[in-house]
Structure 1
Amino acid sequence: MPHLLVFGEQKIRHITVYALLLAVSAGVAAALVVPDLQVGNAMVTDPQWSEQHIAEWRIQAVLAYTSGSAVGHVCALLAGLLVARWSMTDARQAGFITALLAGSGLGAIQLAVASWAATPLLYELSDFPGTGDPMEDWVVNPGLQHHVPVLVGMALTFAVFLAVAAAGFWMAYRAVLLRFVLVGIIVVVMPIALFFTTAIALIPQP
């Protein structure tokens, strides 16, 4: 009976820690939507024709819809490390699957909250005031089905959540020096690489 009580307390602690990671990911995602929109707006200088306005909107969209992902990826890394710590040594396969599930949950909550916060703002930004001439005015269609690069950017960001959670689980069984190197890559290099991939490579300016 005492063993079951300890096991139950451990489960509650694990759930509490994971809930805290979810809350951090969600909170940061919501808080950074507006700053990310401003960054996207600054990346296209003085757009003049429709292709440039569409590129500007897509950059804003991909940054806003993936808002807070850098912090979320750190949370996924921590989740993978914690799952490895909490798993039994003879159940690594189950622990690895649990780490992937933890990463997917963090990715889902981050994208969901960012999308919830960003969608109404992006709908407003899709309206270009124009000149009043119907031959020159245009409006960006905010439906994401018309903006495949944005969807690809979101999918890539979600995939990184899984990869980072798996990396965290794998790192827990490696040497300390290797852990420091991988943490540096995930915390410093990966956000920069993801930014250039999603906001520049996927959406080149015309």
Structure 2
Amino acid sequence: MKSFERFVFEADDTGDLILSPQQLELNKLCFEMKRLASLQFRKSGDSPERDAEIKQANAVNKTEIFRLWHKALPMLVAQYFTHYLFTYGLRNVERKPMKKLMQLAAFSMEVPRLSFLLADKGDYYELFLRFKIKNRILQFGVHTQALFLINARQKPNLWYLLEAEQDTELVDFFGRVGFKIQVPKDYYETHFERYVMELEQHYEMEYK
């Protein structure tokens, strides 16, 4: 790929492009995602009611974008020359994409399953988050994960779409702490064991 000409923000931007019916449908989904992607932010002086309203609106949009991602994935997997760019809430998007920021990407239809490991480290426990593809345990990539998509350290340019919104919340939380949490044993039973037991009701939990 020598260069990137422009971003496509709306149907008028595709005037001179020859697109397949599938690509036209994929663009429609992307336009809808873009419309929903801009976050609302709380302003100084906003009431608690307004703050709650903003959070609710952002949550509703996030759920809808997640639904659209699942609809778009089969079409996206079929495309050639796919790349990704972290837009940071659309703040990193300009009319002409910068080649140095566009990273080669591939997308998989395989469904990732989150998997936890609770390891006894002597004076403390360490709770790790990994994921599985076809029963193979993979470690999360060292770079930033996308909102609904994850990658593995072994293949950082191959992206998997998470199955449930709850999964995205867990990945976001654990991603902030390097996908592991250390808990002193004196603290574990009183304050943390219930959390682990709740996770075990929904996800695989391995003990070591």
Same fold (TM over 0.5): no
Question: Counting helix residues as a fraction of each chain, which structure ranks higher?
Answer: 1
Question: Counting strand residues as a fraction of each chain, which structure ranks higher?
Answer: 2
